[in-house]
Amino acid sequence: MKGNSLIEAIIALFAAIGRMAIEAMATVGRAAIFAVNILRRGLTPPYYPNKLFEQLGHIGWFSLPVVGLTAIFTGAALAQQTFTAGSRFNATSTVPAIVVIGIVRELGPVLVGLMVAGRVSSAMAAELGTMRVTEQLDAMTTLRTDPYRYLIAPRLFASVIALPLMVMIANAIGIFGGYLIAVYKLGFNGVGYLKVTREYLTADDFVMALVKAGVFGFFIALMGCYHGFRAAGGAAGVGEGTRNAVVSAFILILLSNLIITVMAFG
């Protein structure tokens, strides 16, 4: 009997793992079909440029304060940590190079993506989820207005456009934060610091940052719209969709960042 119970427990464990794997693959498939529908319908008329510019303001302009604060604090902290570590090996002169490479290639795009995902992806999921559970999306379809074209595509395209712009701004602010700490606290010469920064900053670094930002923006809007569009079950369903949107956006940002980095430098 004990042997049978053990076998049944093992079978139940593998069955649970299998169900989770199947559900995960099904979710990936549904999200992929959702993305294809957005692109297919969003790239064909009618277009809604007013909605696009409205979302550019919500996603880009209103996210700049939190993005700017995150960038300047991160750049300053990175300069201080690099100087502290470099002083152990008489390598403090590497501070400008490490700060600019770390900010532009990695920290700038990732931190901007995560901050915007926490702010924007949750808002998209909550707004669309509320419209779903209150049947506003059904009413819009009844009135022959395509929600994909009117609500979802402008959010997706605005996010893909706004993220690279915000990353460029965040990179500049982050480098400036490192400059402030290095020059006014750590004793670096300002002209020399900027000279080293310019020497180690290449066009490939900018391209890498912009590619990452575009991909992150796509995933942020996709997850927010997907989970909001599929919300069900009243207020609890909207809350669950909002939570899932943020978590899935975070995971996709970190995963895609790793893949792009490995492809570029591996």
CA distance 258 to 218: 16
pLDDT of residue 2: 54
pLDDT of residue 236: 86
Q: Exposure pattern of 172-191 as b/e (b: 16+ CB <10 Å)?
A: bbbbebbbebbbeebebeee
pLDDT of residue 11: 83
CA distance 171 to 178: 11
pLDDT of residue 266: 67
Among the listed residues 158, 154, 72, the one whose alpha carbon sits nearest the alpha carbon of residue 108: 72
Strands, E, within 139-241: which ranges? none
Q: What letter would DSSP give residue 87?
A: T
Residues of the chain with pLDDT under 50: none
User: Residues 79, 183: contact at Cβ < 8 Å?
Assistant: no
pLDDT in tens, 162-176: 999 999 999 999 999
pLDDT of residue 67: 93
pLDDT of residue 120: 92
**Rg (the chain; Cα; Å):** 23
